[in-house]
Structure formats: structure tokens, C-alpha cells
Homo-oligomer: A and B are copies of this chain.
Amino acid sequence: MDNFIYHNYTKIVFGKDQETNVGALTAELGKKVLLHYGGGSIKQSGLYARVVSSLQEAGVAFVELGGALPNPRLSLVRAGIDLCRREGVDAILAVGGGSAIDSAKAIALGVPFEGDIWDLFTKKATSNHVLPVGVVLTIPAAGSESSIVSVVTNEETQTKIGLHHPNFRPQFAILNPELCFTLPPDQIANGVCDMLAHVMERYFTNTPGVDFSDRLCEGAMRSMLALGPKVLENPTDYDTWANLMWAGCVAHGDILGVGRVGDWASHRTGHHFSAYYDLPHGTALSILFPAWIKYVYRENLPLFVQWAQRVFDVDLTTADPDAIVLEGVRRLEAFYKRIGLATRFSEVGIDDTHFEAFATRSIPVGALKALSVEDIVAIYRLAL
């Protein structure tokens, strides 16, 4: 097991009606906040009105900025930074899913930074100061509500970059499972896929001697495999949503991944498809993760065998470990299909036109196996 520092200070406020506490919680973060959200759904659902009323009751002044889209845009982040500076905002409240939260984190980092925010994402510059962020979560998937990551797309260069920053964790996150009842099935499926991928990216490692977090990850994966189809069948079942929402938060909060080096190649080689084709992040993962496993599993055969056995109950003869792993992959693909996701690029109308370019843009990538451009193209081709 590797040395690590784990400091997840996000206060999780979980359960029915908890968004009524948002005013009091936000008042602890600042005097004037940016209320940041996505499209109009929070207005239609009445959530926007409840949040505004709670902020007003708590005497929190706010300005607002909507329009955060899936694969959140750098241009909106820049607009948010300008607005916050102009208005003297000292904290950000994100109401929405991963896009609104990631966008809010980037704004929070950009406001006190004198240079260009994109230089921080491209690692040309660094800055420690991040305005405090609070969250009301409406789409459980990205796990951004307690993670150290923000993923932003520069639409001019069609580049999608995930920045890790120790001060990116929100100060609080309100998770009310009832807010998920009205999510459309495709968003649910993509979200489930993203959560599961957050566990698999951490699980597939070459770090030896990590039995305890192996077991936690395996438990989390098994639970998600059961919860995903269940929530699609009955999207207004409170307990199913509660478990799935909490699973998504734990999956990316890092307790499952400390002391081990995660891989993240499936995420990073997939981001280009989201940036260029606007492919949902979850679908990039359901297409690429099985192909990645097929391509790399011999790098750590015992771990992939353990995964197939413990997570998918594959009980083929141990004399043929390859068959065990490939049966595990088959069951993973069957799971994706069951929840309605594509497992091949051809299903979503993507051909090999940009494979070489995207692969070139991806490297260096991969920890379980460091991938070359040729490796990545080969994985893309396996997923055609």
C-alpha cells in the first residue's frame, strides 16, 4: 500500500427535504454568493424557488448564473469569474449535477487568481486559493460533490481537462434523493456508468497489498450493479435512489482509492469524444472500459480474475484465467446493455476518423499500463 493523505472535509447533509437547510449552510461560507446552475429544470421542479427562499431567509445575498451544460464550458467559467469579481462574491453555491459543480469549482479557483483560469487547468500556473463552494446535488453520477476534481471543456480548442486540486472539495453538499425522481432514463444510465467507472478506475491498479480497499471497491461495484437496473425500473423508489446517490458520492470521494494508484485511462482517452462529439461522458465509458480491459488485463491478471470472480461471480475453472476475465467483461457489457447504454462506437455513429488525433492528445496516460498512441488507437479499434 502506498503512503497517502486523505482529507475529505465535505459535510454531507443527506435525506428528504434537506435543501431547506441550504440558506443556513451557505451563510457559513460567505456574505454574497454566486448561485450557479444548469438549465431550466430546477425552475420547473420548484427547487430553484425553494433554494432562493432559503437563501433569503438566511439573509444571504446572491447573484446568479445559469447555463452550465454537460461537459461544462470554459466560456461560462470565464463569465462566472468576471461576474463574481464585479459583484464582490465570496462563495459559490452550485445547484445541479457534475457540470454545475465542476463549473462552480473552476469559477471558485479563478476568482482570486490574477492570471487566466485555463493556465491552471493546463498546469502552466498554480494557485492554492479557492473560494468556498456549497452544493445542492440533483444528478448523482460525477461524484463532484465531495471530490477534488473539476473537468472543464475548452470549446475553442475542443480540449476537455480534469484538474485535481486538494482545495476543490465543496464545504458542504446537500443530497436529497427525491430530487432524482424526475431524471430521464438516459441520464440515470450514464450516471450509473460513471459511478461504476469511478470505482473501477481506482480498483484496477498495480499497487500490491491493498486487500482492504479491494474489498470495499468490490462491495461498491456489486451494489451499483444491483441498484442501476432497479432505479431504472422504479425511478421513484426512495431507498433505491438513496443508496445510489450515496454510492455515487462515496465512489469519487476517494475513500475507496487511497493508498493505491488508479489508472484513469478510460476516462482520459474518452474525454475527447465528449469534447468533440458531445458524447455523454457515461457512454464514452461504457464503450471504452470493456475495450480497455480486454487490451490490458494481462498486465495484472490475478487482479482482473479477482474482479470477475468477486464482482461478477464468474466461476469458470481457474485453469483458464483468461476465460474468467473475458467472461467478466462480457457480463460488464451485458450490464451496460441492460441499462440501455452503447458498448461500441458504431452504435453512436462514431468512426475512426479522429482516433489518431485523440490518441495523440491523450498521452501520457495509464498507470496500470502506460499507453502509447498505438495502444490507445488499438483500444479505440476494439471498441468500434
Contacts and interface: CB of A to CB of B under 8 A. Distances in A.
Given A219-B216, A220-B216, A259-B14, A243 B211 contact: yes
In this complex, the member of A10, A212, A220, A255 whose beta carbon has the largest number of chain B beta carbons within 10 angstroms is A212
Interface residues of A, number: 46
Contact of A4 (B6, B15, B238, B255): B15
Interface string A206-227: 0011111111111110110011
Contacts of A15: 1-4, 259
Contacts of A50: none
A370 B83 CA distance: 56
A18 interface: yes
A58 interface: no
A5 B1 contact: no
Interface string A137-174: 00000000000000000000000000000000000000
Contact of A211 (B217, B223, B259): B223
A8 B7 CA distance: 9
A238 B218 CA distance: 23
Given A2-B15, A215-B222, A216-B216, A250 B239 contact: no
Contacts of A239: 1, 208-210
A297 interface: no
A242 interface: yes
A9 interface: yes
A12 interface: yes
B227 A246 contact: no
Nearest to A11: B7
A294 interface: no
B12 A5 contact: yes
A10 B227 CA distance: 30
Contact of A14 (B3, B214, B244, B247): B3
Contacts of A250: 212, 216, 255
A31 interface: no
A6 B249 CA distance: 12
A248 to B, nearest CB: 10
A213 B247 CA distance: 9
A13 interface: yes
B215 A220 contact: yes
A240 B5 contact: no
B18 A246 contact: no
State the 3 A-B residue pairs at the shortest beta-carbon distance, nearest first.
A3-B15, A209-B239, A219-B219
Interface of A: 1-16, 18, 208-220, 222-223, 226-227, 238-240, 242-244, 246-247, 250, 255, 258-259
17 contacts: A1-B243, A1-B246, A3-B15, A4-B14, A5-B11, A210-B239, A211-B223, A211-B226, A212-B220, A212-B223, A212-B247, A213-B243, A213-B246, A216-B250, A219-B220, A242-B259, A246-B258
